[in-house]
Structure 1
């Protein structure tokens, strides 16, 4: 092995590597209830319903995420992706940000409060570190059992809002978010994923370029 190459780069020079499959549909197979999503920690959450917040399962039912990783690894995946497709402050705000837009329309002022919210940023950071840690543990365990290296990819998905087009058909110039807000949301997520120990980052279906 070359000391100048990451083990994944070495493997890519030898053969095609296998990536895992979807995470969301695998979680949905467990048919989790609102109570499952809330867990003990968010039992008394006074905000919106949390059912469907797939990243929240990292904190309330982490054993499910690790079990899914293990299934993909057992099936032969060389790389598993973290359960962080929507784990940015902006991506999580529909579930975990308590405020509503002041004028009934989500605008740049609203999303500035989202990306700066201390509690939401702390949750986002915790989720991403947990996601990377859980995946890392599963990958390292599989590598030890099989003698073959396994790798963790930090999943970075699109946001529920875009800076490319207006969400208001009657106001083509309107933009709900700024480039700087998008950059901050992704920077915070990537920093937490790297802290958690991912080997690489996978940017998925993002339409703002």
Structure 2
């Protein structure tokens, strides 16, 4: 119901950098809402994204649709919107015939589209009394190396023997620099499948002296381990060494896995727990199609989300195949339950 008064995310104090996200969650009533599936909405609006660039293709062909989707999630009550840069990589753009400079401009554009949508939406509320929104944060999405490969390896963690720590840092470095310089509030490292890439991210944040709060989200196919088969205990141990990573969690995994994972992660780290699962359908990264499986309705998703919050999740949203409808219902139920438990309206 106003601008949250938070610590500066660009402070030189690393503890305050982490505190920025913790403050946001606390002042949101104990749980903040992330937006939902992006590609799902782009396709609904007529975008064709059957391409290795996936939703990043719209940065070239349909940027107005990206803005439209951001606004839909803001209207639905998202407290954090994630940029369209998940599959936007410099090697990916260059492979399409673009120059390095053009690719960097598109990365900048992904952040600008999100921040402009946020600011436009916030401006539209200035004459509306007693609205329940706060000014949202923008998280710049950084997809895994496997997302760039577009071969499904973000869901198995097998990058090949020629991929080592330095290669992963080199892959992420310039994209990270450009995104940070573009001015997002947060960095969202998504669908990380193994310990090696986790280590690369943690070291890179240190080497580049990144002062923007980050989260690292893993994927999982069994609900117990990272896709590589490595334990989450081993992966999170790496995350815990970094004062630049403010949150850790799970994205693009079936909802039925999330509750036990939140409980497990709470035992493994003191960082904010972030979860944004998919709708329950299964993506075949090789065949590039959704496999038939049980899809969770918004009602069931919302019931589960309150359990995730009660188990300790501080940031909750949706990933693939979730929609603004999902986020609208999610926002309502989490805000309502926050008021009931806190007796206040000090929330987003």
Partner Cα distance (2:37, 2:179) in 1: 19
Query: Which of 179, 185, 200 is residue 193 of structure 1 equivalent to?
Result: 179
* 1:183 maps onto 2:156 in alignment: no
Question: Greater strand share, 1 or 2?
Answer: 2
Deviation at 1:50, TM superposition (A): 5.3
Deviation at 1:121, TM superposition (A): 3.0
Task: Describe the superposition over 1:67-91 as per-residue Cα deviations: whole angstroms up to 9, x where unpaired.
Answer: 000000000111100001111234x
Partner Cα distance (2:99, 2:55) in 1: 16
Change (3 A) 1:165 1:122: same
Listed as ranges, the gaps of 5+ residues in structure 1 are 38-48, 100-118, 168-173
Listed as ranges, the gaps of 5+ residues in structure 2 are 10-19, 127-133, 199-348
Deviation at 1:190, TM superposition (A): 1.6
* 1:149 maps onto 2:135 in alignment: yes
State the Cα RMSD in Å: 2.9
Change (3 A) 1:123 1:179: farther
Alignment of 1:57-206 (within 5 A): 57-90=58-91, 92=92, 96-97=94-95, 119-146=98-125, 148-160=134-146, 161=149, 165=158, 167=160, 174-175=161-162, 177-206=163-192
Q: For 1:204, what is the secondary structure of its paired residue?
A: strand
Task: Describe the superposition over 1:87-140 as per-residue Cα deviations: whole angstroms up to 9, x where unpaired.
Answer: 1234x26xx4169xxxxxxxxxxxxxxxxxxx5532331221000000000011
Residues paired across the two proteins, number: 165
Partner Cα distance (2:135, 2:116) in 1: 13
Aligned to 2:39: 24
Partner Cα distance (1:66, 1:186) in 2: 25
Partner Cα distance (1:152, 1:56) in 2: 20
Partner Cα distance (1:200, 1:72) in 2: 17
TM-score (norm: length of structure 2): 0.42
Partner Cα distance (1:165, 1:79) in 2: 31
2:6·2:24 contact (CA, 8 Å) conserved in 1? no
1:59·1:130 contact (CA, 8 Å) conserved in 2? no
Partner Cα distance (1:202, 1:192) in 2: 14
Aligned to 1:110: none
1:81·1:154 contact (CA, 8 Å) conserved in 2? yes
Deviation at 1:62, TM superposition (A): 0.8
Change (3 A) 1:186 1:74: same
Q: For 1:58, what is the secondary structure of its paired residue?
A: helix
TM-score (norm: length of structure 1): 0.67
